[in-house]
Structure 1
Amino acid sequence: MKIIETLGCAQSPVLYMLHGWGVHSALLKPLAEQLSADYQVHLLDLPGHGFNQNQQLSADLTACAQLADDFEPGIWLGWSLGGMLAMNLALNKPHLVQKLVLLCATPCFTQKEHWPHGVESSVLDQFGERIQEDIKQTIRRFLQLEVLGSGDEKDQLKKITQQVFQAPLPDIVSLQAGLQLLRHADLSLSLKNLQMPSLWLTGRRDRMVRPAAVQMASEYSQGKYQMIRGAGHAPFIHHSDELTEIIREFLCH
């Protein structure tokens, strides 16, 4: 992981923000700007994503947790795949994570017998095959799924697509590693060991990470759960004020 931009005062509590698969930190910048009044916000790019092309993302969770070894302790906010990686960091290196905010994130992305609220693994297999043919079109298709159900899909897709393609396209090896993490990682049974306070946020219309999965994860971890009505998988686009208010309230207590 690489800090791409820092907002806010150096004397404020530290807050790290971690984006999802196939995109980069700029998508979370509007949310970071709102929270920077109270926090020193570090926007991170995953290896092989955005402006962090010198690294490659690993499909090994232990290696992913080691990416934060040089960071000072702070609050971690992760969206989608970034949320899964933030969870993994909190479980493996709890001294680095003071509080945890999970935005439309799940400990287990695919369906399993004990985790019925995931997606079918064949969905990820299809993306893996398409990446070999056309990375840009594959990411565009993934973005379509992210805004699905939001109620204003066309406007959201236009906005999120413009932001995503302002940075270099992700590295294909890192994209495949991200899909492997989404396909195979299962942190659900470890959530009972989560030591720090956690906030689990979901959009009622999210078709990628179902609200039922986020609610179940909050129960496993004894964290706080909250649903944002009218939001899809990217609530920071049109529900940023409500999202900021919920996060601030959680972090202040």
Structure 2
Amino acid sequence: MALVGIIGAGIGGIATAVQLARYGIESVIFERDRIGGLIRNAYSVENTMFFPDGIKGEKVVEILEEYVRKYDLKILYEEVRAVKKAGGLFEVETAGGVHRFKYLVVATGTRPRRLPFDGITYHVAEVPERHYGRVLIIGGGDVAFDYALTMSERSDEVIILMRSEPKALPYLQELVKKRSNIRTLMGQVREIRPINGKQKLLARTSAGNFEVELVLGAIGRVPNIELVQGIEDDNLFLVGDVKNGIYRQTALAIADGIKTAMVIWRRERYGDTE
């Protein structure tokens, strides 16, 4: 039986598993989809202090895959259905059965806040690879501006629709200003519906009506914490975006994972409870 279970193979979960492997501690990572998590969506990651010119999210995922191979990390591609504490152990239930661990690390990240309209995509990594005419992005934070930069490379025009002044990092705002095919508007969405006979959507907004080929939603995110709600235990650790609220940063997720692994090692080695 592995000592540690890790739910989520994003950058925080992988960082935890790598540091545990360095200590010779075995872990099992549960991932329902692909490793990398939301980092896959990123246009540019430059806050880790190692890539001053930035690095594509997809490239970060490739690096994570190299770490998985290097440390022979065990990943079960199974969705976790339930978690409970029984007999002093955490029981993680998947379609493949029940797995038991002394320690449990939850690195499940966040999920998007959704708008009350059909036809909206919430992850740029899920957008089919082709050229688009006009793309509408709803939101004014880091994710919205990051999505706009990504889509500007495969679209004729990108519109960022914001309810208020942009909240994105000044760094991202400056990058957006340099793209001639991105424009920002103030307004709210009133309706999104398909246009008969066309593979397009009509977006009715307070800033005007737009025919678009794609609508991306980026109005915020909420923690994926449901699996362990109600469980309070010193051997339960939250890592990365799932616990950091609005402070969702790659560097913080990596640091959380490494620190968590260090705490687990010290508890096993010295019996520390701090």
**Bigger radius of gyration, 1 or 2?**
2
TM range (shorter): 0.3 to 0.5
Q: Which has the higher strand share?
A: 2
